[in-house]
Amino acid sequence: MKSVEGGALSFTDLFNLPTAVDVRTAARALNISPAMAYRLINQNTFPCRVLHVGGIYRIATCELMRSLGIEEMPVYTTDSDTESDG
């Protein structure tokens, strides 16, 4: 398998994606080449639902993350008691 242009997305990168991504970005998240991603789309075997909008393919980030086994977004909170004076 050819290496993916730009390298695979990191865990942090995944959580900074917009609501929907293009095929190239989805391919990076899945660590496959864009050519392989288009091949899977054409064979109806892409690992998540693909939207065809205005002549381009878009993949919902939440579905992409589910296909990667990521079900929930991490939640980070700050403790206001640790930030207050004394």
Report the pLDDT value the prediction gives residue 75, as an integer from 0 to 100: 62
Q: For the chain, list the domains and their CATH numbers.
A: 1-68 (1.10.10)
Specify the pLDDT at position 12: 82
Question: Measured in Å, how far apart are the chain's first and last C-alpha atoms?
Answer: 58
Helix (H) or strand (E) segment spanning residue 53: strand 51-53
pLDDT of amino acid 84: 52
Note the pLDDT of residue 83. Answer: 52
Please give the chain's pLDDT, 86 residues, in tens.
Answer: 344 456 788 878 888 899 999 999 999 999 999 999 999 999 999 999 999 989 999 999 999 999 988 876 666 655 555 555 54
